[in-house]
Structure 1
Amino acid sequence: MAIGVLLQKKFNFQLTPVVKLITYCFMPAAVFLNIYQAEFDYSLLGQLFLYLLLFTAGTILLGNFLAKVLHLKRQESAALKNSISLMNAGNYGLPVSQLIFSANPLGVSIQIIIIVFQNLLTYTYGLYNLISTSKSVVEILKEILRLPIVHALYLGIGFQLLDIPLPTFALVPLEQLANAFFALALFLLGAQLAHISIKSFHRVIVWSLLGRLIAGPMLALLIILLLGIDGVMAQSLLIASALPTSRNTATLALDTQVVPELHAQIVLYSTILSGGTVTFVIYLSMIMF
């Protein structure tokens, strides 16, 4: 991100082609491989999906409630709702999970399932929030179905369920594209932030941070206790609930031109502050479960 800020200030890149490159090339490769290479523990899927449905429904309801109470404009409302319900489960959550559960692969497996679920949520509900500000339902469905990310999700799930081996000549370039995605997406976020003038702290940012970093873990803890989830699964789910806002919200906002600066600021602040909040939630999860 820092490199993105510095180079953008020096060269003033046109960011729209970079967004297209990420959306239509690097991101589909990363999502496909995340699903294709995942090692799932299918015995836990029932309880896990029940938790994910309840947690997601809770964050969506919270975002919609706050947007109505605050009387936000449609574009600001989209930013608030996405920032609370969509979290950075991939290049933030997965390394954290691998660090904490290095001796227990179950925790990492759960995080991978969360990544898949969040990818589906991002490119359905999240994309709907952005393009519904200017398009009809039919146009929204057409936009979603045209995205390569949607086809990558379906293909990844199909290859995973059918256990179809991928030949090396296809796997190697896909891995190279997926590895490039993480670096380029963070570079793009930094470039977006390069010319942002933060003259005031927008109220949407405040409520986004409270919803994602504070209310998210509180809701997760309540659901975990109600469902009687314990052990590594409870730890993994509680830690995942505290992750910052997904970087993809800023990428999609720039692609659709829905208050991209506001989205980028939310991602920036939530990522910085999550260093403290995620650390606390990790500590709490180890004590409680």
Structure 2
Amino acid sequence: MAAVSAPGSTLRVGCIGAGKMARGVLGGLLLSGKVPAQQMTVSAPSGTNLQYFRAQGCHTTHSNISVLYESNVIFLATKPHVIPQVLVEISSAVTSDHVIVSMAAGLSLQTLEELLPDGVRILRMCPNLPCVIQQGAVVFSRGSCAGPEEADMLKDLLSACGMCEEVPESYMDIHTGISGSGVAYVYLFAEALVDGAVKMGMPSAIASRIAAQTLLGGAKMILETGDHPAKLRSDVCTPGGTTIHALHELEKGGLRATVMNAVEAATKRARELDKR
């Protein structure tokens, strides 16, 4: 197999699809300087979605197969149900010089490998929306022909998007349930915090800022202390205080079980996407 060039030198990145996730991931590569705009080619059927990349100085096209000719690392960023059609379209142009990285939720490495020529180096990644501001949580797994060199290359690239870890593929759909879909749970919880503050007399604008900073600070405490969330929650509770009374109401409402059920539902749905 051909070697993968170091980021920023002869590495040429392509992307099929130009939606939010493509802008988030590739935008991180551009902002970090890991890949110059002149070494990036993006395709999409709509010119509207390509405007961001044109503005950055990237090459853009409506031809998916052209991306293969211009790039050696190819991100697949279309909707999952479109991926099989795209792979059939580009299969004849895929060579041993290419590394294929799928962002599609639910599509297994086995499925991807069945749709591409034998020996192609394939990796599967799961991003989430905060990649758009380089604060994402990204995991990836390697296909049977991708080795440590490809893993190191991808991890280096994706570090521009936030946290990035290699995991067993069995964790990928769980990541979708906890993080890919999980940001929506966080937004819903933030909205509820704001609504509660408005109910008690605080203006929405300042309540939104306080709720966001509270979530940000709580998350950073978990990351920086390494403590289990249960330990940090306990630290906030004083006997007979405001927090334990509030937590009692959350427990009566079934918050913990409901969130666990949400992660389970999203994970199961992601697994269903690979059933053809």
Scaled by the length of structure 1, the TM-score of the pair is: 0.23
Ranked by relative contact order (alpha carbons within 8 Å, sequence separation 6 or more), the top structure is 1
Give the number of the structure whose residues are more often helix, by fraction: 1
